[in-house]
Structure 1
Amino acid sequence: MYNQYKNINFKELCNELESEFIQKMNETQIKEDEHDFNGIKEGLKKGICYICGEPLDYVDENNPCFHWLINPIIKKKLLIKLLYSGKGLLRLYGYLTWVANSDKPFVNIDDTSEGNDCNKIFETTIRYKEFEWTFSLAKTDFEGHSGTNSDYSHFHIQMKKNGKVIIKFNDCHIPFSDHDKLMIEMMNQDVMTYIPSYEAGLNIFSELDYDEVLQLMTRPDSENSAVFRTQTLIIIPKHCKKEVSAKFQELQQKTNWTAPKIIEYLNKEFGYGIIYMTQIIPTNPITKSHRK
């Protein structure tokens, strides 16, 4: 892949910056991300695109916008026009993951490596309501297909609506944007680390401490709004079974704590010595599509 940023020494440039300045930039970016994510989330509730300010079903053919991807009546030719409009991989991916996480966090994005072909650099499936998108990038895509019309670095996308394929993987060979190339080169030079935030999917749970996740979980108002469910095996000492059962039911009624949190509380406060083992199971997680 030709990259105009390859000859820039980003490490050298970053070394000239003061650590306080870099920290302030990171803090500013975190605040901007929070503001933009909340803006997208509120806009979707109102049926308005946070980016262009128009209704989600509005289309200006001369000004492609990300919200075209969630427009239920848009034509395929306009979607392809959007994909080739220079948005690039990272911005398209970022928008769709934020949209997906505005509905339910994590479970609408399968960014795990399970089942991926060893020749794939990147393959992720994203779901939002009736829509589904799969991004695919193989090593040969990144290098470009020599001797063909797609001899440039590119990625592929598949789009479905209500389970029906609207855009096939091989319909488009979408080029990387200049922004993509800049980010890729900075990551290659180890001056930038990708840490998922509002675009995080199921893979984040392989990186988190299991016990910490359990402590953060609370019971939802309804099962439909639940992102995860837990299965807990509990072993209660015989001498305190009745007492534990009564206190357990009382805490379930008074709090929104999960079973592990209640057990931890009872063990700490009363020294019951309850043994438990909990499994966290995503509720209705997306099933990844694979490009053959």
Structure 2
Amino acid sequence: MAINFEKAVGRATADFAKMTAEDLDTWNEMNDAEHRSQYLRFIDGYQRDHCYLCDKDFKTVSKESPCVHWLLRRGKFKNKDIVLIAQKFGYINICAYLRWCANAERFAANINDLKDEAPEGKILSSTIKWKNIEWSFDCAPSDFSGHGGSHSNFPHYHFQMRIDGKQFINFNDYHLPFSDHDLFMLRLSKEPGMHFDFGSHGIGMQDAMEIDPEDIVNHTSPTENEEEAAFNIQTMIIAPNEPLRGEDISAAFEESKRTGRTMASIFRERFEGADVEVSSIVSPSETVPKITPRTEHKPR
């Protein structure tokens, strides 16, 4: 029986509207606790190359029990097997798992879901990097509405997988169906006051760049290895009445190495109250993977 998502969303928003502030706090705490519990089971298994979902080793591929961990390509996972995974788990669950894997290696910076870098008009557009693998998700409005013949006349998304930079699954190989849960959550997220995300352990660069720049400057640590960086912080110092001394820059650099603080935060502290303007620009690291674009096939 087909689900009427408009009615389901209407009921959900009505239920939320009836909640008191205390009810919402309790509901959020319960969701956070469940998210945390699942993540702890995930990371415990991940550190042992073991999947918490199917309770099997990452190298195990059992066609009787499709699992998202196949996408780590530790076993004999074939191109067409993505259909089995998609049918069982749906977009949100697949994406959440891959985000957790990516963030276990480098937090946020392995996930490019930046709206400013996504092709215009897309419903979904992101690329996730994990070790030597990149996964990309793409969905245009025509995909979501279900275009074309019987092979694609349902709400679907496209998926690409690269291994060592080489194509393993192409965007247009398959039309992967959204689950009912996916469709409900995507529709609900359009309602005023409703927000969907992948939780604190699944954040990507979009969420990271929405952090207050002051907090990034004051609470991140510099690294000499660009591959470990999530942000690029450029700082400009203007001293109109007195030239900046080389000793000041050298002292700030040494303090940064010693304390693990950013140069920007040190300069702001050192020149506080002086006739010196210190401004910083925070941007994503150059090593954040680029969003892989998909060329849509247009009907003739």
Q: Distance in 2 between matches of 1:184 and 1:38?
A: 26
When normalised by structure 1's length, the TM-score is: 0.85
What do residues 131-161 of structure 1 show as CA deviations (whole Å, max 9, x unaligned)? 1111111111111114433211111111111
After superposition, where does 1:55-204 map in structure 2 within 5 Å?
55-77=57-79, 79-114=81-116, 116-190=118-192, 192-195=194-197, 197-204=200-207
- How far apart are 1:249 and its partner, in Å? 5.0
Q: Gaps spanning 5+ residues in structure 2: where?
A: 296-300
Whether the 8 Å contact between 1:232 and 1:277 is mirrored in structure 2 is: yes
Q: Gaps spanning 5+ residues in structure 1: where?
A: none
Aligned twin of 2:258: 254
Whether the 8 Å contact between 1:10 and 1:191 is mirrored in structure 2 is: no
The number of equivalent residue pairs is: 289
Aligned twin of 2:236: 233
What letter is aligned with 1:6?
E
TM-align CA RMSD:
2.7
Percent of aligned pairs with the same amino acid = 27
Aligned twin of 2:216: 213
Whether the 8 Å contact between 1:154 and 1:174 is mirrored in structure 2 is: yes
What letter is aligned with 1:267?
F
When normalised by structure 2's length, the TM-score is: 0.83
What letter is aligned with 1:93?
C
Q: Distance in 2 between matches of 1:226 and 1:130?
A: 18
- How far apart are 1:18 and its partner, in Å? 3.9
What letter is aligned with 2:164?
N
Whether the 8 Å contact between 2:83 and 2:176 is mirrored in structure 1 is: no
Q: Distance in 1 between matches of 2:224 and 2:45?
A: 24
Q: Distance in 2 between matches of 1:221 and 1:32?
A: 36
Q: Distance in 2 between matches of 1:25 and 1:230?
A: 37
After superposition, where does 1:11-90 map in structure 2 within 5 Å?
11-77=13-79, 79-90=81-92
Q: Distance in 2 between matches of 1:77 and 1:240?
A: 59
What do residues 161-200 of structure 1 show as CA deviations (whole Å, max 9, x unaligned)? 1111111112211111121122133324446312453322
* 1:80–1:12 CA distance, 2 compared to 1 (3 A): same
Whether the 8 Å contact between 1:83 and 1:174 is mirrored in structure 2 is: no
Please identify, of 211-220 and 10-19, the stretch whose mean Cα deviation from structure 2 is larger.
10-19
Please identify, of 215-224 and 102-111, the stretch whose mean Cα deviation from structure 2 is larger.
215-224
Please identify, of 8-17 and 234-243, the stretch whose mean Cα deviation from structure 2 is larger.
234-243
What do residues 27-52 of structure 1 show as CA deviations (whole Å, max 9, x unaligned)? 12223323433443343232121322
